[in-house]
Amino acid sequence: MAIINCPACKERISSKTKVCNHCNFNLVAGESTDGLTEEQLESKAKLARMKKRYSLQMQAMAGIILFLLGFVLWYFLGNRGLSQPSHFIELGIAIFGGAWYLITRVRLMTFKKKQ
Interacting residues toward Zn ion by CB under 5 A? 6, 8-9, 20, 22-23, 25
**Between 22 and 105, CB nearer to Zn ion:** 22
CB of 22 to Zn ion, least distance (A): 4
Residue 64 contacts residue 29 (beta carbons within 8 Å): no
Residue 44 contacts residue 84 (beta carbons within 8 Å): no
Number of Cβ within a 10 Å radius of residue 106: 10
**Between 23 and 66, CB nearer to Zn ion:** 23
Residue 9 contacts residue 26 (beta carbons within 8 Å): no
CB of 15 to Zn ion, least distance (A): 13
**Between 55 and 86, CB nearer to Zn ion:** 55
**Between 24 and 86, CB nearer to Zn ion:** 24
Q: Which amino acid is at 29?
A: A
Label residues 72-98 b or e (16+ Cβ within 10 Å = b): ebbeeeeeeeeeeeeeeebbebbeebb
CB of 110 to Zn ion, least distance (A): 14
CB of 55 to Zn ion, least distance (A): 14
